[in-house]
């Protein structure tokens, strides 16, 4: 991301620029929306702009002042980025205590101290609740930016003390034009955008050749399961090396499209597999398929919580096979 937001973020940027100009920027922001819209990049660009000594007329960081140089170097004394140690782990309570202490100190340079928490979904209940005092009694110079795909996972007491800044999927034509400009392939852009639910950055990830290969591998494996060429245990072992968020996301998308086709609608996330989906429609047990979808989403949420993911995935595949009759 450049200093400017993505094309679909101009409304939110203009809103905050106006608030900054009027001296009404809140002490805490909760930036939320579906994955793949560039929320984290937006938050970091905002932090840089707020700390900039000479912001542009559009409200972006100038890129040339001392503050911007320190920001780019990762050594700005008034900015802190809080993240989990790995995608599967929660944000440590020690990290939250550090950010609280950080926000109570006076700014070293330009009048503000900014903390970005990404993703805020990685805060457990205890860590999130420890922010309450900071949110209720913020230092005058403090700005806390929480970035979340699932704001409902945060305590209501935390959400109510932040200004919500929501991002939705952009206009289809705008998203397609942006994605086509990066892929140079109209068909790939159309398919990836459909699979990503209209989220351009997620679509860009899905259009990656490795991701496409993983998608093809999964659908091929599910076809063999459906035809009886393999069983759930063998298939779980076969896919164990790739078992994680991306694979489960692909499986969830497949289940959603299978439900759509089973109810007479068209595929949205796998439009290039419409024929294969239609072949599965006859004899489909939709009630069991909905149960399978719920189980898959719960497994996706629980990754990294110490559960035996391979065994859970095998149980999921058994339920999926039963739904196909």
| Average pLDDT along the chain, 325 residues, taken 10 residues at a time | 72 93 94 94 95 91 92 93 85 92 92 94 90 92 95 93 94 92 84 86 81 82 91 86 73 92 85 85 89 89 68 90 88
Does some domain include residue 189? no
Whether 115 is in a domain gets the answer yes
Q: Pairing mode, if any, of strands 142-148 and 113-117? A: parallel
What is the per-residue pLDDT for 1? 40
Could you give the number of structural domains in the chain?
A: 2
Enter the pTM of the model.
Answer: 0.70
Beta strand extents in the chain (DSSP E only):
28-33, 79-82, 113-117, 142-148, 163-167
Work out the angle between the directed axes of helices 245-262 and 274-281 (0-180°, nearest 10): 60
List, edge to edge, every strand of the sheet that includes 142-148. Answer: 79-82, 113-117, 142-148, 28-33, 163-167
CATH of the domain at 94: 3.40.50.300
- pLDDT confidence of residue 206: 78
Shared domain for 63 and 153, answered yes or no, is: yes
Q: CB atoms < 10 A from the CB of 313, how many?
A: 23
The answer to whether residues 214 and 65 belong to one domain is no
Residue 265 counted as domain residue: yes
The CATH code of the domain that includes 318 is 1.20.272
Task: State residue 210's pLDDT score.
Answer: 66
If asked whether residues 149 and 255 sit together in one domain, one would say no
> Do residues 70 and 106 touch, judged by C-beta distance below 8 A?
no
Whether the CB-CB separation of 111 and 33 falls below 8 Å is answered with no
How far apart CA 214 and CA 311 sit, in angstroms, is 20
Domain match, 156 and 247 both? no
Pick the closest to residue 282 from 246, 325, 251 (CA basis).
325
DSSP string, 229-279: SS-HHHHHHHTGGGTTHHHHHHHHHHHHHHHHHHTT---SS-GGGHHHHHH
In a domain, 89, yes or no: yes
- Give the pairing of strands 79-82 and 113-117: parallel
Q: Which domain holds residue 22?
A: 7-167
With contact defined as beta carbons under 8 Å apart, do 232 and 292 qualify?
no
**Can you tell me which residue has the tokens 């759509």?**
260
Residue 28 phi/psi, 5-degree rounding, is -145, 135
């Amino acid at each position: 991301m450049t200093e400017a937001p993505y094309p679909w973020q101009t409304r939110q940027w203009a809103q905050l620029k106006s608030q900054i100009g009027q001296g009404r920027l809140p002490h805490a922001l909760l930036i939320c929306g579906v994955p793949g819209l560039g929320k984290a990049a937006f938050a970091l660009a905002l932090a840089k702009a707020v700390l900039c000594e000479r912001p542009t007329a559009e409200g972006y960081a100038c890129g040339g002042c001392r503050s911007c140089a320190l920001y780019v170097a990762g050594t700005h004394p008034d900015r802190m980025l809080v993240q989990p140690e790995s995608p599967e782990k929660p944000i440590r309570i020690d990290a939250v205590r550090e950010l609280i202490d950080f926000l109570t100190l006076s700014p070293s340079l330009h009048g503000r101290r900014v903390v970005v928490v990404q993703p805020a979904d990685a805060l457990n209940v205890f860590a999130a609740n420890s922010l309450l005092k900071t949110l209720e009694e913020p230092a005058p110079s403090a700005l806390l930016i929480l970035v979340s795909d699932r704001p409902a996972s945060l305590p209501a007491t935390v959400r109510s003390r932040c200004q919500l800044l929501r991002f939705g999927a952009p206009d289809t034509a705008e998203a397609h034009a942006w994605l086509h400009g990066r892929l140079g392939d109209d068909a790939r852009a159309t398919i990836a955008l459909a699979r990503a639910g209209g989220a351009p950055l997620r679509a860009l990830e899905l259009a990656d050749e490795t991701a496409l290969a993983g998608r093809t591998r999964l659908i091929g494996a599910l076809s063999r399961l459906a035809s009886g060429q393999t069983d759930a245990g063998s298939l779980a072992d076969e896919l164990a090396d790739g078992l994680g968020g991306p694979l489960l996301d692909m499986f969830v998308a497949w289940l959603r499209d299978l439900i759509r086709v089973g109810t007479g609608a068209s595929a949205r996330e796998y439009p290039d597999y419409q024929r294969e989906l239609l072949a599965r429609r006859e004899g489909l047990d939709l009630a069991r398929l909905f149960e399978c979808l719920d189980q898959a989403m719960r497994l996706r949420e629980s990754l990294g919580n110490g559960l035996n993911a391979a065994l859970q995935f095998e149980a999921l595949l058994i339920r999926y096979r039963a739904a196909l009759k």
